[in-house]
Amino acid sequence: MNIVTSNTGYPRIGENREWKHILEKYWTKKITRVAFELEMKQLRINYLKKQRSKGIELIPIGDFSYYDQVLDTAVMFGLIPERFQSMEEASLEQYFAIARGTDEHVASEMTKWFNTNYHYIVPELQGAAPKLTHNRLLDLFNEAKYELGIKGKPVILGPVTLIALSKGYENSEFKDKVAELTPHYIKAFQELAEAGAEWIQIDEPILVQDIAQPTIEVFQEVYSRFNKELPEVKILLQTYYGSVERYEEVIQLPVDGIGLDFVHDKGSNLEKLRSSGFPSDKLLACGVIDGRSIWKSNLLDKQEQAAKITSYIQPSQLIIQPSCSLLHVPVTTANEKSLPEQLVEALAFADEKLEEVALLSGSLKSPEKKDELRAYSYAISEFHKDTGRVHTDVQRKLSQLNELTATRTSFEVRKEQQKKKWQLPPLPTTTIGSFPQTKEVRAARLKFKKGSLSEADYETFIQEEIQKWVNIQEELQLDVFVHGEFERTDMVEFFGQRLNGMEVTTNGWVQSYGSRCVKPPIIAADISFDQPMTLKETLYAKSLTTKPMKGMLTGPVTILNWSFERDDISLREMLNQLALAIQEEIRQLEANGIEMIQVDEPALREGLPLKENERADYLANATYAFRLATSSVEPTTQIHTHMCYSEFDEIIETIDALDADVISIEASRSHGEIIHTFERYEYQKDIGLGVYDIHSPRIPSKIEMKRNLERALRVLNQEQFWVNPDCGLKTRTTEETIDALKVMVEAAEEVRTSLQVGTSK
């Protein structure tokens, strides 16, 4: 039985985040370009070797990136923002300038990748003329071919999805923009074919979204053209993150293989396969191993699923692979020495998932290997049976929930009471929460973790950092302070370390954007509050100033969406467990005099289902969980929240329904486009639209910040407007942070003065 093993994409960051460290050494000029490229090449080579050793036959190339795969594709085809077109074409300098900005120009917008915690650089089409600038896939294909003897499978984002994810054109131009791009894809593919490439994987994940007939017609035109002009190339059309919506039309596209997600499709792809069949002249790349989960597969169940699939197609048509790129999971469980043994045995990261692909494929070829699958699946089966993961008090509280537990006094009443209590000036200035995590902060945390720094000395160090930054905030004359979060490695991992039912890995890193990697905690059991998590540092900071001090928490929706969740209970149940735990933390803060509390939900939009008909339930559950967490406070206690890098327009009603007193939203990289939302939606609560981009090292000018402020104030009432950066400042240097905040405060004061003068007239 000829069943092929394939991988859809491999994590680029390395077991120990080697990729991140190489990038940051290059950005800080600690290594030359030549050294940078050599070190990155060694990573690529190692990843290819590893996949081959795991038994993968169709090994992806092109999934490796220096920053982001969408940016790679845009630069490869000359989709360069106008402000960067004067730079050397397709150079590293131009590439990183688009992603990170320069002293003169802002970076391109960044937003979330479908419903994941990965963020991509949004291509800008205005003023861009498509062309094949440099065929990076050809270079990577030849590298694998000549250095390792691997005839790789080039992987690229497809033209229809690329244009759909881009900005700078009218909807009526969509078809023409795709048509302009198509010849350049063809040229790149012809070069790959000439070099010996047999398969090319074209990722078109928008096929799992609700797409209209005109978009399907664009797909038909593009892929018919590929088929006509590339007769020697085998195209694998890859979808992921759910079921294909227009299944009947998609399976008739003139390609040689189609990749379907049989994990996150909720059974829909299998049902469509059963009811509508599958062409006998195509291969079916079956995504049966979950590319987004860290739990081991029950391979007996997967074998049964694969058997159902092969009852509708010939076994010779079958490709076994993960459901999507393994970009979303850590590299390997081999380094996890501190987790409970039973938990580690139930986990499978990227390397282990490749082993699952090979094991499953082998069992389909040789049914007598069923005992091997049973032995592999034992650990996850036993883990699910463990009754110690059930917390009876949590279950009791969940059974008592009702809508009355998630309501507050009306905002109009709260607004007046809070106005009298806080006595803030117009356009109050604040920051989102974190201040720079300097090398000294990271070194002290590492020493404490390793035991070479005592708890008392570590606490003294953290207090010194808090005091330093309270003093800086005083000097900058900010209106509302934060303590800086120096004790926190990450806004979700920190809470994962302190909540019962959650576990934190040693090396379970995944890429969020650029070189920013996060270590999602694992929800392994029922979640409950243990003891105050943020009170000590917040109270200490409050004692140092007479200015309002915000308590800083991460909300239940973001903790869930940025964690590896359980696969044996509902998302709603996990959300409400988290909400009850955060509710208790808020009670602790308020009882100790912290009466301005920020509960961040940057990932609320990220969890939004791709299917329109599934969104209402998700948003209702998310809204309820946030309100459950924040509803117990007094009317005078001001609840803030923060969101970033999302399409806010489509969830503005939900944002309003959260009933936070103040919301801060990213609005800098998107060049104020969020403001259009408030032109159509009358938002009454207080709001801060981030006036500068913290993900770029550039210091914006006062004119830029004033322009952002004034533009927002044409739509929003000055009495509801706050001034803040667009996100936390942990990734910036001390100098960058102080310089940018100084400009921000000066811009706010000048606009504030002009408004007061205008009022007096």
Of 184, 264, 483, 695, the active-site residue reads: 695
The rounded distance, in Å, linking the Cα atoms of 559 and 604 is 10
Residue 516 annotated as lining a ligand binding site: yes
The rounded distance, in Å, linking the Cα atoms of 454 and 618 is 44
Q: What three-state secondary structure class fits 455?
A: helix
Q: Which residues of 438-450 are buried (b: 16+ CB within 10 A; e: fewer)?
A: eeebeebbeebee
Residue 562 annotated as lining a ligand binding site: yes
Q: In what order do the strands lie in the sheet with 551-554?
A: 551-554, 596-600, 638-643, 662-665, 686-689, 721-722
Residue 434 annotated as lining a ligand binding site: yes
**DSSP secondary structure string, 599-651?**
EE-TTTGGG--SSGGGHHHHHHHHHHHHHHHHTTS-TTSEEEEEE-SS-GGGG
The rounded distance, in Å, linking the Cα atoms of 229 and 211 is 26
Residue 593 annotated as lining a ligand binding site: no
Residue 27 annotated as lining a ligand binding site: no
The residues that bridge with 622 in the sheet, in sequence order, are: none
Is 695 an active-site residue? yes
Residue 78 — φ and ψ, nearest 5°? 70, 20
**Cβ atoms within 10 A of the Cβ of 613, count?**
8
The rounded distance, in Å, linking the Cα atoms of 599 and 408 is 16
435: DSSP letter: -
Tokens of 671: 């060049």
Centroid of chain to Cα 252: 33
Residue 485 annotated as lining a ligand binding site: yes
The residues that bridge with 482 in the sheet, in sequence order, are: none
Residue 433 annotated as lining a ligand binding site: yes
Q: What three-state secondary structure class fits 62?
A: coil
Residue 20 annotated as lining a ligand binding site: yes
The rounded distance, in Å, linking the Cα atoms of 606 and 648 is 11
Residue 100 annotated as lining a ligand binding site: no
**DSSP secondary structure string, 116-160?**
SS-EEEPPB-TT--------HHHHHHHHHHHHH----EEEEE-HH
The rounded distance, in Å, linking the Cα atoms of 448 and 442 is 10
Residue 419 annotated as lining a ligand binding site: no
Radius of gyration of the chain (CA): 26
Tokens of 532: 């105050």
The rounded distance, in Å, linking the Cα atoms of 286 and 616 is 29
Q: What three-state secondary structure class fits 513?
A: strand
Residue 568 annotated as lining a ligand binding site: no
The rounded distance, in Å, linking the Cα atoms of 689 and 111 is 16
The rounded distance, in Å, linking the Cα atoms of 373 and 359 is 7
Q: Which residues of 694-727 are buried (b: 16+ CB within 10 A; e: fewer)?
A: bbbbbbbeeebbbebbebbbebbebeebbbbbbb
Residue 644 annotated as lining a ligand binding site: yes
Q: Which residues of 24-62 are buried (b: 16+ CB within 10 A; e: fewer)?
A: eebeeeebeeeebeebbeebbeebbebbbebebbbbbbb
The rounded distance, in Å, linking the Cα atoms of 111 and 568 is 30
Residue 292 annotated as lining a ligand binding site: no
Report which secondary-structure segment, H or E, holds 284. Answer: strand 283-289
The rounded distance, in Å, linking the Cα atoms of 360 and 263 is 15
Residue 177 annotated as lining a ligand binding site: no
Tokens of 152: 């790789």
User: Which residue blocks in 196-287 are alpha helix, DSSP H?
Assistant: 213-229, 247-251, 268-276
Distances (CA, A) of 409 to 284, 418, 622, 634: 56, 12, 20, 9
Tokens of 402: 């009702």
| Single-letter amino acid code for the residue at 232 | E
Residue 710 annotated as lining a ligand binding site: no
- Binding residues for L-homocysteine are 432-434, 485, 600
Summarize the annotated binding site for Zn(2+) as residue ranges: 642, 644, 666, 727
* Binding site, annotated residues: 17-20, 112, 117, 432-434, 485, 516-517, 562, 600, 606, 642, 644, 666, 727
Catalytic residue positions, numbered: 695
- Binding residue ranges for 5-methyltetrahydropteroyltri-L-glutamate: 17-20, 112, 117, 516-517, 562, 606
* Residue positions forming the annotated binding site for L-methionine: 432-434, 485, 600
